Amino acid sequence: EVQLVESGGGLVQPGRSLRLSCAASGFTFDDYAVHWVRQAPGKGLEWVSGISLNSGSTGYADSVKGRFTISRDNAKNSLYLQMNSLRAEDTALYYCAKATSLLSVFDLWGRGTLVTVSS
Amino acid sequence: EIVLTQSPGTLSLSPGERATLSCRASQSVSSSYLAWYQQKPGQAPRLLIYDASSRATGIPGRFSGSGSGTDFTLTISRLEPEDFAVYFCQHYGGSPYSFGQGTKLEI
């Protein structure tokens, strides 16, 4: 089955760090770009970051630039998001999604992992 | 950055009726980079339409997309009970990838 499974979410205090993971299965992971998209409770979708299939290109939303770092390990079929200096406004359900390239539609999404930033 | 504005915010219709959802971009968008997603409560978004008018694999024919430039439309020809959900449009032509705020389609 083709799927993406996120993990690593939880409750964290403001200013602290958290690392999210996304495990891919059922497809050739290194043939695809992958993204992180988040959704605050009751809100819409916000693109967070994306990475090309060979890690040569990355992009970040202005809201997370300088605080979040995206990476991938193709040997482990995994995507990561290192989140530093977390703020209350980073509280959201974080999804990973795959795309054929960085100029392609997000054709499959995981079910998300919840990050709550609160003291 | 391209800002996408969806209307209406909420659309109240009955099964069997036709739904028309709008997505307006702040600047001209290549049709190659406009998508529509459906999201049901507690679920991840599901791709419906890409390249403005191409249906994704497994999407029923009652879903269609159209438009160009700054105005795009998602049409559901005859609503089924399972179609009541939130719909998002997206521009995926490069960073930053923007989403509309969503249209809630309710019974």
Q: Give residue-wise pLDDT tens across range A42-78.
A: 899 999 999 999 999 999 999 999 999 999 999 999 9
CA distances B74 to A10, A97, B39, B71, B87, Å, are 36, 22, 14, 11, 9
Tokens of residue A31, six digits = 């043939």
pLDDT (average), residues B86-92: 96
Count other Cβ atoms within 10 Å, centred on residue A10: 11
Task: Give the three-class secondary structure for A94.
Answer: strand
- Cβ-based contacts of B47 with chain A (< 8 Å): 105-108
Scanning chain A, the segments in alpha helix (DSSP H) are none
Asked if the Cβ–Cβ distance from A105 to B35 is below 8 Å, we say yes
Of B33, B44, B99, the CB nearest to A44: B99
- Centre a 10 Å sphere on the Cβ of residue B49 and count the other Cβ atoms it contains: 26
**A62 near B CB under 8 A:** yes
Tell me what the mean pLDDT of segment A85-97 comes to.
97
Counting Cα atoms < 13 Å in the Cβ hemisphere of A82 gives 6
Alpha helices (runs of H) in B1-107, residue ranges in sequence order:
none
Contact (Cβ atoms closer than 8 angstroms) between residue B6 and residue B25: no
